[in-house]
Amino acid sequence: DAKTTQPTSMDCAEGRAANLPCNHSTISGNEYVYWYRQIHSQGPQYIIHGLKNNETNEMASLIITEDRKSSTLILPHATLRDTAVYYCIVRESDSNYQLIWGAGTKLIIKP
């Protein structure tokens, strides 16, 4: 079973920040938080990952709470092309093993 819980769907206005929450209350000390997204009819795409510090890259920012039981993915200026299903996944470090996926959050960016 997936180790994360996410809202089923969210809307966001184009140009605004999209904040996607994820709960992972059973996360262990050596598990990273990963975010992927899947645009309709495409394969999943990696966005970002982190362990305990906040992370930022050209796509998004990841904010992880101090107790690591939840995180938020932030798309700072959402565009219509950001409409996708967003998956939050936890996985052990030093591992090339499988990703265990939940159902994700369907994010719809509205003009």
The yes or no reply on residue 46 touching other proteins (CB under 8 A) is: yes
Nearer to other proteins, 14 or 21 (CB): 21
Q: Which of 71, 78, 89 lies closest to 10 in space, CA to CA?
A: 78
Among 9, 13, 16, 51, binds other proteins (CB under 8 A): 51
The yes or no reply on residue 39 touching other proteins (CB under 8 A) is: no
* Min CB(43)–other proteins separation in Å: 3
Interface map 17-36 toward other proteins (x if CB under 8 A): ---------------x-x--
The yes or no reply on residue 102 touching other proteins (CB under 8 A) is: yes
